Amino acid sequence: MFNVKKIISVLAVLAFLISGCGKGRTAITLAGSTAFQPFAEKLADEYMSTHNEVSITVQGGGSAVGIQSANSGAAQIGMADLVILPEEAKSLTATIVAKDGIAVVINPQNKVSDLTTDQVRDIFNGKITNWKEVGGADAPITVVSREAGSGTRSSFEQIITNVNLKKDALIQDSNGTIRETVANDANSIGYLSHGLINEKIKPVKIDGEESTEESIIAGKYKLVRPIYLLVKGEMTGEVKNFIDYILSDEGQKTIKSNGLIPAK
Amino acid sequence: MKLISEKGVKRILGTVAFSAISVLFLIALFILNEGLPFIFKYGIKEFLFSSDWQPQQNKFGIFPMITASLWVTFGAMLIGAPLGVAGAFFLSEYVPKTIMKIIKPTIELLAAIPSVVYGFIGVMVLAPIIRENFGGPGLSLMAASIILGIMILPTVISISIDSILAVPQSYREGSLALGATTWQTIYMVTVKASKSGIIASIILGLGRAIGETMAVIMVAGNSVNIPHSALDSVRTLTANIALEMSYATGLHRQALFATGVILFIVIIILNSFASVAIRKRARKK
The predicted-structure confidence for B105-121, as pLDDT tens digits, reads as follows 998 898 899 999 999 99
Residues of A in contact with B125 (CB under 8 A): none
- Chain B interface test: which of A143, A145, A157, A173 (most B C-beta within 10 Å): A173
* pLDDT attached to residue A60: 82
* pLDDT attached to residue B284: 55
Residues of B in contact with A107 (CB under 8 A): none
From the list B127, B135, B235, the residue facing A171 with the nearest CB is B235
Phi, psi of B173 (to 5 degrees): -60, -40
Chain mean position to CA B216: 12
CB contact under 8 Å between B217 and A173, yes or no, is yes
∠ CA A153-A159-A160, nearest 5°, is 85
Q: How close is the nearest chain B Cα to the Cα of A126, in Å?
A: 13
Residues of A in contact with B127 (CB under 8 A): 184
Is A1 touching B (CB cutoff 8 A)?
A: no
* pLDDT attached to residue B149: 96
ipTM of the complex as predicted:
0.77
Model confidence pLDDT, tens digit, residues B188-216 = 999 999 988 899 899 989 989 999 999 99
Q: pLDDT 10s per residue in chain A (264 long)? A: 456 666 666 555 555 555 544 446 788 999 988 788 888 999 999 999 988 888 999 988 778 888 888 988 889 999 988 888 888 788 888 999 998 889 999 999 999 999 999 999 999 999 999 999 998 899 999 999 998 878 888 899 999 999 889 888 999 988 888 999 999 889 999 999 887 888 999 999 999 988 888 888 888 898 999 999 999 888 888 888 999 999 998 889 888 887 788 876
Residue B166 near residue B284 (C-beta atoms within 8 A) = no
From the list B123, B138, B233, the residue facing A168 with the nearest CB is B233
Q: How close is the nearest chain B Cα to the Cα of A206, in Å?
A: 24
Question: Coil, strand or helix: which one is B248?
Answer: coil
Neighbours of A114 (CB within 10 A): 14
Which residues of chain B approach chain A closer than 8 Å at the C-beta? 53-56, 123-124, 127-128, 131, 135, 137-139, 217-218, 221-225, 232-233, 235, 242-244, 246-249, 252
* pLDDT attached to residue A152: 87
Q: Which residues contact B137 (CB under 8 A, 6 or more apart)?
A: A142, A170, A185, A188, B127, B131, B221, B231, B233
Q: How close is the nearest chain A Cα to the Cα of B54, in Å?
A: 8
Residues of A in contact with B143 (CB under 8 A): none
Considering only alpha carbons, which residue of chain A is nearest residue B224? Answer: A167
Ranges under pLDDT 70 in chain B: 1-4, 281-285
* pLDDT attached to residue A141: 93
* pLDDT attached to residue A7: 61
* pLDDT attached to residue A18: 53
A–B interface: beta-carbon pairs under 8 A: 73
d(CA B243, CA A174) in angstroms, rounded, equals 9
* pLDDT attached to residue B246: 73
